[in-house]
Structure 1
Amino acid sequence: MHDRTANLLGAASLAVTDLLLGATSAAAATGPSGTAALVVLSKAPGLSATELGRRIGLTQSAATRMVDSLESRGLVERRTSIGKWVAVHPTEQGWRAARAVLTTREDRVAGLLTDLDDGERATLTTLLEKLLVAAYGENPDTFLLCRLCDRESCGDGATTHCPVGAADVEARAVEARAQGEQDGRA
């Protein structure tokens, strides 16, 4: 009934979340959703407000209000794209804010790891990869899970890989195989 490891993970998760959200929101001078939107747009400029909202966990109406707020602060701009479709792009100020968010995020988290030796860091990396795969199993939305990720640190494919992306690729492969087997029986 009283799982100490689960309790410690919950407490650590909340402490890290509080630390990151406070620091990154301050770096962007916006709220957590606006902060995540700037990071997402820095890697995928030109999304619609609806798609941007989906990637950070907001409804269409909430995403539109958030984009309005970011636009009024000079962090993003709307550009007409194909037909009536409107794309959201970071402004130069928005690009700077996104870089500040990622730098702040890395600095704050790195500060928490300073007391770990190389072996402990390697063990923690392995455990965190497993936890992220389990989190993907609970919520299979790669964009939402990785909305504040520094994608370059986790996805070069040569020496590192994104465990969430790998779990997504595996899930899609399993789904495709099952569909192929079902089609073969039809």
Structure 2
Amino acid sequence: MHDPRTGNLLGAAALAVTDLMLEGVTELSGVGPSAASALVVLTVSPGLNGTELGRRVGLSQPASARMVDALVSRQLAERRPGQGREIAIRLTRRGRRTAADILAARSGRLAQALAVLDPAERAILSGLLDKVLTGLYAEIGNADLLCRLCDRASCTTDAICPVGQAERERNG
């Protein structure tokens, strides 16, 4: 059954949370949302080539090349020889610190948004979000893209990531 009010509330909440989260992330890092996501992605997948990095953050190959150029010019990442003719993108020490700061800022903004809920309400919301994210994975089909700005450790400590689980079930 279609519930326009619930969908509208979810849309408004999602947009507000995204705005708050990205504001903190972009202010702190001095880069845009895609570049901030790339820094986080490179913390868990160092050495990706520019095309794969772009795919994981939702950018075309040309846009990804421009983003990598910007990260390199800001001394947040560097290009290194990869396999064969590929060029691997790796974070610099400054890039790793910035990525950690991005995740901390993101976490702080999300904690503020959830502060209006008591622990029982947060547990209920967590279960509902597991279900929503599983459904979103079924539609999007790309765990890397869905989780491009995730703090993966916080999602998998004492729990199973619903997106990762959905991907494992799909790939059987």
- What is the TM-score normalised by the length of structure 2? 0.96
Say yes or no: does 1:127 pair with 2:128: yes
The letter of the residue matching 1:3 is P
Distance 1:128 1:2, change over 3 A: closer
Q: Name segments (4+ residues, structure 1) moved above 2 Å.
A: none
Residue 2 of structure 1 deviates from its aligned partner by 6.7
1:31-180 to structure 2, matched below 5 A, reads 31-156=32-157, 159-173=158-172
Secondary structure of 1:161 counterpart: coil
Question: Mean alpha-carbon deviation: is it higher for 81-90 or for 5-14?
Answer: 81-90
Q: Which has the higher contact order (CA 8 A, sep 6+)?
A: 2
**Residue-by-residue CA offset, 1:51-83 (whole Å, 9 max, x unaligned):** 000100011111011000110111100001223
Structure 2 counterpart of 1:3: 4
RMSD: 1.1
The letter of the residue matching 2:169 is E
Residue 21 of structure 1 deviates from its aligned partner by 1.2
Structure 2 counterpart of 1:176: none
Query: Of the two, which has the highest radius of gyration?
Result: 1
Structure 2 CA distance for aligned equivalents of residues 43 and 166 of structure 1:
18
The letter of the residue matching 1:172 is N
**Residue-by-residue CA offset, 1:113-158 (whole Å, 9 max, x unaligned):** 11211110110000111110111111010000000000001124xx
Secondary structure of 2:90 counterpart: strand
The letter of the residue matching 1:16 is V
Structure 2 CA distance for aligned equivalents of residues 149 and 34 of structure 1:
14
Secondary structure of 1:121 counterpart: helix
> Where does the alignment leave 5 or more consecutive residues of structure 2 unmatched?
none
Aligned length: 171
> Where does the alignment leave 5 or more consecutive residues of structure 1 unmatched?
174-186
